[in-house]
């Protein structure tokens, strides 16, 4: 209760004329945010795991608890959240209000689907318990609202049983079509080569070199790899031989802990932008600084001082446009989108993560702010880099937004967006969002979603 009281006291200290925001020193958002002088919400008392119930396989977690701390509390019980986003400092509340995804999402959906109930601080300054039966309109609209409908104070989530190790097969494909077909079969059957699959994602290096990474939980002891040192995880999956029909592949093993955080050490592959993958520099780079939270600090310095643009200008090159996005595309249109992307956007590698909501068609009212269809398979496609800037702001990002809409996909809102308001509202909640907003934030103390996601307020 101390943390909640501190939160409410900080809410009351914010002037009525100022927007309510978190007083948070770090963020996993790539959107620039307007500077402000007003105080923010004090969430310093909402950072821990409240309890883990191994018998019911549930956990009560404070909204600002990081997944690193959550996993550290659940793994001793042989349990894990149903979906563990890739970066250690993502918070549980952040993954629910801003969406999250990982290699268990083809069977477990998105993090908000495992939330049994959550306490939300609304724009009206009330803490309400929400669930499928208590304030269900707020519960359903909260995912993808990015703090514009309130902030998660406490969440009760489902957990699942895990094993000490994950056995991996990295299967190479010579065409995108064959990779996507194999992914589709695994999603539908839950198996590969007759073995149940627990985790599934992939990496595209080029049109003729791509990989599916198939993970199987196991209790069998044996040697494991370590990608927190000199070896780099995404490079480890590469091999020369494309097996017939995707069979065979390169084998690897990790502890469950290291599997869950396999992408964090090098921020997928983005650490190369800082020189952390240079073998000579890597040997000197302290291990404690090879993690996403430290790279975020370097990004912050770049945004503050314009370092990358200064370097480009010094070398006689145009400034750069940041293209950092995750999009969900129906699996039937995935090959089309990837082929278009590789032909038009000079970014590689590309991350692939299949997704299917846990809900079945007609079983619930859905998630209105991110309305992908139950019973249908999607592929999250992630690409994170920069390209030469075009003639107008966001040239490449706008092209991508148009293509995503053309293939009936959706784009996450953690990074730059350029949609006109009418199109944005059609994609992200429309009248449903406005109704919930008016109900739980009647005085508009919280920002509007369009203002936050597109106008960067």
Summarize pLDDT for 380-422 with one digit per residue, the tens: 999 999 999 888 889 999 999 999 999 999 999 998 999 999 9
Range with lowest mean pLDDT among 2-16, 131-145, 179-193, 331-345: 2-16
Q: Over 70: is that where the pLDDT of 309 sits?
A: no
457 with 451: CB under 8 angstroms? yes
Name the pLDDT band for 29 (thresholds 50, 70, 90).
low
SS3 sequence of the chain: CHHHHHHHHHHHHCCCCCCCCECCCCCCCCCCCCCCCCCCECCCCCCCEEEEECCCCEEEEECCCEHHHHHHHHHHHCEEECCCCCCCCCEHHHHHHCCCCCCCHHHHCCHHHHEEEEEEECCCCCEEEECCCCCHHHHHHCCCCCCCCCEEEEEEEEEEECCCEEEEEEEEECCHHHHHHHHHHHHHHCEECCEECCEEEEEEEECCEEEEEEEEEECCCCCCCCCCCCCCHHHHCCCCCCCHHHCCCEEEEEEHHHHHCCCCCCCCCHHHHHCCCCHHHHHHCCHHHCCHHHHHHHHHHHHHHCHHHHHHHHCCCCCEEEEEEEEEEEHHHHHHHHHHHHHHCCCCCEEEEEECCCCCCCCCCCCCCCCCCCCCCEEEEEEEEEEECCCCCCHHHHHHHHHHHHCCCEECCCCCCCCCHHHHHHHCCHHHHHHHHHHHCCCCCCCCHHHHHCCCC
The tens digit of pLDDT for each residue in 417-446 reads: 999 999 999 999 999 999 999 999 999 999
Q: Over 60: is that where the pLDDT of 245 sits?
A: no
The tens digit of pLDDT for each residue in 4-14 reads: 888 878 778 78
Name the pLDDT band for 62 (thresholds 50, 70, 90).
very high
- Dihedral, 79, 223, 229, 380 alpha carbons, nearest 10: -50
Which residues make Cβ contacts (< 8 Å) with residue 161, sequence separation at least 6? Answer: 57, 78, 79
Report residue 367 as tokens: 């998630």
Q: Over 90: is that where the pLDDT of 316 sits?
A: no
Give the domains, in start order, of the chain with CATH numbers.
2-162 (3.30.465.10), 165-262 (no CATH)
Mean pLDDT to the nearest integer, 269-292: 89
Phi, psi at 120, each rounded to 5°: -125, 130
Distances (CA, A) of 443 to 123, 141, 144, 145, 449: 8, 18, 21, 17, 15
Mean pLDDT to the nearest integer, 326-344: 97
Question: Sheet harboring 350-355: ordered strands across?
Answer: 250-255, 165-173, 209-218, 199-206, 350-355, 378-388, 320-330, 410-411
pLDDT score for 139: 97
Q: Which residue has better confidence, 154 or 292?
A: 154
Distances (CA, A) of 342 to 208, 227, 267, 383: 11, 28, 22, 11
Range with lowest mean pLDDT among 20-24, 169-173, 398-402: 20-24
Name the pLDDT band for 15 (thresholds 50, 70, 90).
confident
Place of tokens 């990002």: 397
Q: Over 80: is that where the pLDDT of 227 sits?
A: yes
């Amino acid at each position: 209760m101390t943390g909640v009281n501190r939160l409410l006291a900080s809410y009351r200290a914010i002037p009525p004329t100022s927007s309510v925001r978190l007083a948070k020193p770090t963020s996993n958002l790539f959107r620039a945010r307007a500077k402000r002088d007003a105080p923010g919400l004090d969430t310093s008392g909402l950072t821990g795991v409240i309890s883990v119930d191994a018998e019911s396989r549930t956990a009560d977690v404070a909204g600002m608890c990081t997944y690193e701390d959550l996993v550290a509390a659940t793994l001793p019980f042989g349990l894990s959240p149903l979906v563990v986003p890739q970066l250690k400092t993502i918070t549980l509340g952040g993954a629910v209000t801003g969406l999250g995804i990982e290699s268990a999402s083809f069977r477990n959906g998105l993090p908000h689907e495992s939330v049994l109930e959550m306490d939300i601080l609304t724009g009206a300054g009330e803490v309400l318990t929400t669930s499928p039966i208590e304030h269900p309109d707020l519960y359903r609209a909260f995912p993808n609202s990015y703090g514009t409908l309130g902030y998660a104070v406490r969440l009760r989530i489902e957990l699942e049983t895990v094993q000490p190790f994950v056995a991996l097969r990295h299967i190479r494909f010579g065409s995108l079509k064959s990779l996507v077909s194999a992914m589709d079969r695994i999603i539908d059957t839950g198996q590969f080569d007759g073995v149940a699959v627990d985790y599934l994602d992939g990496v595209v290096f080029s049109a003729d070199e791509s990989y599916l990474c198939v993970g199987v939980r196991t209790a069998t002891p044996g040697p494991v790899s370590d990608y927190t040192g000199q070896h780099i995880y995404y490079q480890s999956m590469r091999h020369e031989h494309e097996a017939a029909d995707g069979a065979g592949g390169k084998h690897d093993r990790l502890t469950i802990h290291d599997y869950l955080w396999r992408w964090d050490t090098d921020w997928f592959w983005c650490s190369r932008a800082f020189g952390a993958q240079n073998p000579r520099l890597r040997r000197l780079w302290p291990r404690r600084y090879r993690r996403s939270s430290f790279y975020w600090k370097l990004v912050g310095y770049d945004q503050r001082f314009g370092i990358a643009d200064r370097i480009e200008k010094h070398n006689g090159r145009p400034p750069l446009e940041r293209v950092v996005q995750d999009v969900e595309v129906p699996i039937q249109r995935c090959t089309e989108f990837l082929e278009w992307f590789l032909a038009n956007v000079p970014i590689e590698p590309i991350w692939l993560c299949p997704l299917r909501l846990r809900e079945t068609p007609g079983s619930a009212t859905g998630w209105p702010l991110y309305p992908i269809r139950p019973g249908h398979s999607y592929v999250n496609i992630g690409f994170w880099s920069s390209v030469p800037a075009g003639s107008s702001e966001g040239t490449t990002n706008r092209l991508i937004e148009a293509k995503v809409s053309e293939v009936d996909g959706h784009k996450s809102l953690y990074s730059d967006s350029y949609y006109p308001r009418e199109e944005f509202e059609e994609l992200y909640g429309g009248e449903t969002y406005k109704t919930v907003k008016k109900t739980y934030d009647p005085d508009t103390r919280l920002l509007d979603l369009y203002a936050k996601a597109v106008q960067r307020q």
